[in-house]
């Protein structure tokens, strides 16, 4: 989508601090981190939110989870624990309408990350 900031990152129109990339997934550091490790994991395919996932998309969603574990290991938080969060639509706080996970860790997170 032409106006999607995450699609612009995928297309290298906007520079970002990439921590992982493959044919289907892009992961980069959040510009307003909530913890020492805060990475956004997105599919390169534009999917606006969790409610728009199709059966065809299930493989890419699985790849996002595998990427999260790989990134957690590389960034040293897999042993101590991390949180993987998806916000879906307005009431959840989703700000960018391109499905993404927040991989958060590096400190005790408590009951909830806002």
In this prediction, residue 114 carries a pLDDT of 52
- Residue 34 tokens read as 């909530």
Q: Are 64 and 101 within 8 A, CB to CB? A: yes
Residue 61 phi/psi, 5° resolution?
-65, -40
pTM across the whole model: 0.92
Alpha carbon distance 27, 21 (integer Å): 6
Mean pLDDT across 22-30: 96
Active site residues: 100
| Tens of pLDDT, residues 40-68 | 999 999 999 988 999 999 999 999 999 99
């Amino acid at each position: 989508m032409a106006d999607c900031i995450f699609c612009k990152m995928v297309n290298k129109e906007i520079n970002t601090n990439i921590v992982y990339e493959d044919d289907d997934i892009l992961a980069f550091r959040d510009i307003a981190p909530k913890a020492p490790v805060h990475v956004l994991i997105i599919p390169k395919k534009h999917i606006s939110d969790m409610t728009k996932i199709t059966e065809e998309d299930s493989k890419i969603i699985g790849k996002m989870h595998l990427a999260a574990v790989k990134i957690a290991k590389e960034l040293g938080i897999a042993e101590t624990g991390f949180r993987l969060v998806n916000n879906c639509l307005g009431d959840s706080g989703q700000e960018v309408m391109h499905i993404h996970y927040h991989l958060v860790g590096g400190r005790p997170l408590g009951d909830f990350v806002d």
